Amino acid sequence: MKEYPSFAGVHTALVTPFCNAQFDEATFIKLIERQIEAEITGIVPVGSTGESPTLSHPEQLRVIDLAIKTARNANRKILVTAGTGSNSTAKAIESTQEAERLGADAAMLVLPYYNKPSAEGIYAHFKAIAESVKIPIIIYDAPGRCGISLPLSIAVRLANDCPNIIGIKDCNASLEHIEKLHSQLPPHFQLLSGDDIWTLPFLRIGAVGVISVASNLLPVSIVKLVSLFELGLLEEAQELHLNLIPLFKDLFIETNPVPIKTAMALRGLLQEEFRLPLVSLTNEHREILFQRVESYSLE
């Protein structure tokens, strides 16, 4: 079996900065360079945190391309996992092939949303995508956004039948679910937490890392959290995790990525700008988030 890269560590689900309704390329480069300085494992452009639904297809490709080129200028290897999901298998194949041509290390694809296929349809969808490319595939299981979740039996079949489907970003918020995945999937399969607040609990029962929203704001702290766990310093990891939980909660006070982009704007990292139908936080939530962000040191 071909060896694929380890995704152990922290991967930042990158926001997409805008300026005057356009993709802010200069700020995007600075954000990635900040991630590199924090010794992040990888970056994930054009996911839900990157407002992929409101990016045009050319914009999606430009974001992915710029992320790859910026990462390649780093003095160490930074994995770039491109968000290429769609509820159209043909479109997902096209986007994943384009990401592969641009040089992405991997692709992350959400389950088909809205049309809600059967279990066999989910299997056929991901199998067709995997067979169309050589890069590794990470399945993004986010039932809260998609209305469906990945059945365990289908995850096992895909892991065994498609060598380049190598992991799952899991947002089920269930330790029991992760335990079942870890016990039934093959040893090479990699589980990643898709929710910051579940990072440490998931690591304890077999996950290898996290695709993080909070690391857009506090990359050093999130890297430290996972590193402490990997070093076996569980008490220190638990202490840091508990300290970060209030922030993790408030970053989802409204729909992601509105709170994280607002928090980053408060720290001067980007302009606070969204694309409809996403809008700014309510004044009440803005004040709550402001107080929370101010309680953490700038990184």
For 13, list phi and psi in degrees, rounded to 5: -75, 95
Q: Apex CA 217: angle with CA 39 and CA 289, to 5°?
A: 160
Annotated catalytic residue: which of 123, 169, 224, 261? 169
For 166, list phi and psi in degrees, rounded to 5: -115, 0
CA–CA distance, 197 with 5 (Å, rounded to integer): 25
At 238, which helix (H) or strand (E)?
helix 234-250
**Does the active-site annotation cover 169?**
yes
CA 282 to chain centre: 25
Q: What is the 3-state secondary structure (H, E, C) of 142-183?
A: CHHHHCCCCCHHHHHHHHHHCCCEEEEEECCCCHHHHHHHHH
* Cβ contacts of 58 within 8 Å, gap of 6 or more: none
**Does the active-site annotation cover 2?**
no
Which position has the token pair 């006070």? Answer: 253
Annotated catalytic residue: which of 2, 30, 134, 140? 140
Q: From residue 133, give the alpha-carbon distance in Å to each of 31, 107, 138, 155, 156.
A: 29, 10, 13, 19, 20
Which position has the token pair 């309680």? Answer: 295
CA–CA distance, 278 with 257 (Å, rounded to integer): 9
Active site residues: 140, 169
